[in-house]
Amino acid sequence: MQLTSVSKNQTLFTQESNPLAINEHWFNPQYWLEQDKVFAQKTGRATAYFFAEKELKAVLRHYWRGGLVGKVLQDQYLFTGMDNTRVYKEFALMCELHQQGLPVVEPIAALVTRSGLIYRGDIITRALEGATSLCERLVAGPLAAQLITHIGETIARFHKAGVYHADLNINNVLFDDQDKVHVIDFDRGELRPPQTQWQQQNMQRLQRSFTKEAGRQPSFHWQQSDWQKLEEAYQRALSC
């Protein structure tokens, strides 16, 4: 990973092998909107901007706080060193996972902007072709058994590699246009020695997200027997 000071208060992270001429303007949505290069926007807790630059299709995401703290501080974080920023930690982790060949979206660049003791952050990742979330797929219709198995096996790959995901839920599990499963959003994630306790906590969080979305969506195609298939596939792959 390469760090570049683009100004007194801004530090840019890129992969060392990245040939793109990335600068601080890449992290301003207005920069892409004015060039008519934004081809999609996705709203949630915050807006993600999908833009195209030459051969690259990418996603720009700003870091926002969640929960009650987020209502007050919104996008502000206390700066205690570059290595401690959530931006640096997520980008470094994604670079490592991508290099290991795990199914994550490719990290392109990230930016930390400081203002005194406060920092804000942004990250750019490569967009998956034809990406749909597991939640979106279940709203549209039931999943084939082989796809449910694929989800369990994919999560087991991450857990065997010691990857702890701080917010494993059905919106952070994506299918690409070939139905390959990817996991996204590694904010506050980390590498840990594989242990049953945190692995099961991850799985319990995922299971709760199925229940939560089933209660929110007027149409949601998920049964307890589907979870059992997923769990069984996960356990088989974890023990191999």
Mean pLDDT within 186-204? 97
Cα angle 68, 50, 202; round to 5: 45
Question: DSSP 3-state assignment of 169?
Answer: coil
Point out the catalytic residue in the list 83, 122, 167, 226: 167
Three-state DSSP class for residue 195: coil
Assess whether pLDDT exceeds 70 at residue 71: no
Return the pLDDT at 70.
45
% of the chain with per-residue pLDDT over 90: 87
Query: Which of 172, 140, 143, 132 shows the shortest CA–CA distance to 155?
Result: 172
Choice among 3-12, 84-93, 128-137 with the minimum mean pLDDT: 3-12
Mean pLDDT of the chain: 94
> Is residue 67 predicted with pLDDT exceeding 70?
no
Strands 38-42 and 10-14 turn out to be: unpaired
Q: Residue 134 has what pLDDT?
A: 98
Burial of 68 (0-12, 13-18, 19+ CB in 10 A): exposed
Mean pLDDT in residue range 32-45: 91
Residues 82-116 have pLDDT tens digits of 999 999 999 999 999 999 999 999 999 999 999 99
| Cα separation, 58 vs 142, whole angstroms | 29
Quick one: which H or E segment has residue 10?
A: strand 10-14
Q: How confident is the model at residue 72 (pLDDT cuts 50, 70, 90)?
A: low
**CA 125/CA 64 separation, integer angstroms:** 17
- 117 CB burial (10 A radius; 0-12, 13-18, 19+): exposed
- 81 φ/ψ sector (left φ>0, alpha ψ -120 to 50, else beta): left
Assess whether 167 carries a catalytic annotation: yes
How far is the C-alpha of 187 from the C-alpha of 104, rounded, in Å? 13
Q: Which two tokens stand for residue 147?
A: 């796809």
pLDDT category, 58, cuts 50, 70, 90?
very high
Global pTM reads 0.93
Per-residue pLDDT band for 158 (boundaries 50, 70, 90) equals: very high
> pLDDT digit string (tens) for 218-232?
999 999 999 999 999
Tell me: pLDDT of 125 over 80.
yes
- Quick check: 54 pLDDT over 70? yes
In one letter, which amino acid is 164? Y
Residue 49's pLDDT band (cuts 50, 70, 90): very high
Tokens of 93: 């982790």
How far is Cα 52 from Cα 7, in angstroms, rounded to an integer?
Answer: 25
DSSP three-state, residue 228: helix
